A and B are shown apart, each in its own frame.
Chain A
Amino acid sequence: MTEVVSLSGPEQHDDESTLKVSSNYSKDTKVGEGTYAVVYVGVQKSSHRKIAIKEIKTGGFKDGLDMSAIREMKYLQELRHVNIIELIDIYSEHNGLNLILEYLPYDLEMLIKDKSIIFTPANIKSWMLMTLRGLHHCHRNFILHRDLKPNNLLLSPQGVLKIADFGLARSLGAPNEELTSNVVTRWYRAPELLFGSKHYTGAIDIWSVGVIFAELMLRTPYLPGANDMDQLIVTFRALGSPTEANWTNVSKLPGYNKINIYPPPTRQELRNRFSAATESTLDLICSMLMLDPLKRCTTTEALLSKYFVESPRATDPKSLPKIVPKNK
């Protein structure tokens, strides 16, 4: 089944070997800075391969390393798949940790926003296919990503899509564990999370992929809520309000409140919204955006859907539209 790399993969190095490891990578230019890390572009000297170095900031956190850094290392060490970002190595330097990651110059959000690029149905299919394959690999290892959005779907210079940013990932919870519902960027948050569920499953990732799918078709965010309350309204206005009839026990969720009742959209309304979609495209979007998480499709079902088999065939990654990174 999965490659077992946790033991043979990146290792903790002692001081002497750290020198050896760190001297194998050059840190060249700084390309970005987040709350807990600075990202540099560099080169792996032994292979001349371009890489990205994520330098984790230490200090300032009362419990040592930031939680998301630990999560990212923990899960990326275990996952190895063409559609998931590769963690090449880890070394520590000046009390800071450095993650050596695959160099992936641009993300899906940049493509969606670049209006000079035209998406064909085959392009969208290709991105969806790669996203779902990556997510399928996470889910079959019982890992929830919990922050899927176009911004976290990176693209290699060869056009291959890779899921990145595992800073919020965790494994499927046991029944006696409570998970926080404050995960996933708001626009891509599944309804059970909006209602404060503490025992959600991989279905929340499928929801995010469904929203991304819609965004690829529309070239604009599909459910852009202004705040958490508004997110509920925007979601249900587009997809209908949940009731006990279409979602058993929904009213038992801690954050459930009966706000405005919107009727579910008719097929014709959906056709009008996604004017370029074929019937099987709509079928797949709908099954990924089912309100009841138990009725939502799994990654396996999504990959086996008619959408991927019918013409046009998904574009080869090499021929997908790309952005040439600007040199600053």
Chain B
Amino acid sequence: MGPTKCPYPNCNKILRKNKFKKQIFDDLNIEKECDIRKKILEIYNKQESNFKNLNEYNKYLEEIETIIFNLSHDIDIEETTNLVKQYELMNKELINENNDKISKDYENFMKRQNLEKSFKQTRLKLQKEIEDEDAKLKKLKNLENLNNMYDEGITKNKNNNNNNNNKNVLNQMKESILKKTSARQKQLKELEQRQQERLSQLTSSFGGQQLDDINGKLQKPETPFTPFNGDRVLKLPYNEDNDYYDPIYFNLVEKNDEFRASGYNLKEFFKRSLSEAFIGLDCFICDEK
């Protein structure tokens, strides 16, 4: 019982129960490589942000791969293990720091993930409720219409006491549903806002910082965004008279409903005529050439 020597002759390893593990891969070589990789990556855990440029980082990654390859293929084992040990000793502080960072990043990532999930769920729920209430409202309206029709029939028989009551009940129901819907909509808005805030908090804390760093590396400080690329005409060379009335054209457009359906806007056409009249003015061909 307890730790014992390996039963194989000439193998001097000490076996402990807690060092045994369940095999994941059929191929033992892969299993071995994975174990080695895990161990090595806990020691060689520098991030891209620890390097000045991509090239150096790539070199570092290459170094790690060589170590893992050597260890898993039994090449220069002693030398490589010594190298790793030395590195571990030399960089103890940095290693611990980075490990902390990685676990924090992971935590942050999970937090984000959960936050987004719960946000989506509640949003969907609220939306569904709003839709349901819409449907209810529609039903009520139908009922009301029916009632009105019924009403008309009854008034002829001069007996509408009862129906007034009915109407009141319907109106009350309608109001309460409308109130609920608007409350839901408000909730929805608030929810979305809160989500934005939370997300921005998370990004501004630890996890996002690195992301910003990387983005910052890729995008050098730029000019601010302008939708029209600085090429927007705000001041026209002429003044529009909003009261201008052209009897012929207005008549044409107003008489034919097709214009409205086509989205036709007579003022746009007037603008075209005016800009054509003004476009050549103040322009000297010899300067333009």
Contacts and interface: CB of A to CB of B under 8 A. Distances in A.
Contacts of B257: 249, 252
B263 A293 contact: yes
Interface in A124-142: 129, 133, 136-137, 140-142
Contacts of A142: 268, 271-272, 275-276
Interface string A289-305: 00011101000100110
Interface residues on A, range: 35 or more
- Listed from nearest, the 10 A-B pairs whose CB atoms lie closest are A293-B263, A252-B257, A249-B261, A142-B272, A197-B262, A303-B227, A249-B257, A199-B262, A294-B263, A199-B264
Contact of A5 (B131, B259, B263, B288): B288
Interface string B199-226: 0000000000000000000010000010
Interface centre among B269, B283, B285 (most CB of A within 10 A): B269
> In the complex, which of the residues A175, A268, A296 has the most CB atoms of chain B within 10 Å of its own CB atom?
A175
Interface of A: 1-5, 7-8, 81-82, 129, 133, 136-137, 140-142, 171-176, 192, 195, 197-201, 203, 247-250, 252-254, 266-268, 292-294, 296, 300, 303-304, 308-309, 313-314
Contact of B258 (A137, A172, A198, A309): A198
A199 B263 CA distance: 8
B7 interface: no
A253 B258 contact: yes
B129 to A, nearest CB: 13
Interface string B272-289: 100110011001010011
A308 B258 contact: no
A129 B229 CA distance: 10
Interface of B: 124, 127, 131, 219, 225, 227-229, 231-233, 236-237, 249, 252-253, 257-266, 268-269, 271-272, 275-276, 279-280, 283, 285, 288-289
A252 B261 contact: yes
A159 to B, nearest CB: 15
A304 B275 contact: no
- Which of B219, B228, B266 counts the most A-chain CB atoms under 10 A from its CB? B228
B272 A249 contact: no
Given A1-B279, A7-B285, A174-B269, A250 B261 contact: yes
A8 B264 contact: no
Contact of B249 (A5, A81, A175): A175
Contact of B261 (A1, A248, A309): A248
Contacts of B272: 142, 171-172
B91 to A, nearest CB: 36
Contacts of A254: 258
A8 B285 contact: yes
A171 B276 CA distance: 11
Given A175-B253, A308-B227, A247 B261 contact: yes
Contacts of A249: 257-258, 260-261
A313 B232 CA distance: 20
Contact of B127 (A1, A7, A268): A268
B255 to A, nearest CB: 10
B262 A8 contact: no
Nearest to A129: B227
B253 to A, nearest CB: 5
Contacts of B289: 8
Contacts of B127: 267-268
A307 B9 CA distance: 72
27 contacts: A1-B236, A1-B279, A2-B279, A4-B280, A7-B288, A82-B229, A129-B227, A133-B229, A137-B231, A142-B271, A142-B272, A175-B252, A175-B264, A175-B269, A192-B262, A195-B261, A197-B261, A197-B262, A201-B268, A247-B261, A248-B261, A249-B257, A294-B265, A303-B227, A304-B227, A308-B227, A313-B219
Contacts of A203: 263
**Residue with the highest number of chain B CB atoms closer than 10 Å, among A8, A197, A199, A248:** A199
A200 B288 contact: no
A81 B285 CA distance: 19
B266 A253 contact: no
A203 B276 CA distance: 21
B263 A296 contact: yes
Contacts of B124: 268
A1 B275 contact: yes
Given A1-B233, A172-B269, A313 B263 contact: no
Contacts of B258: 197-199, 249, 252-254
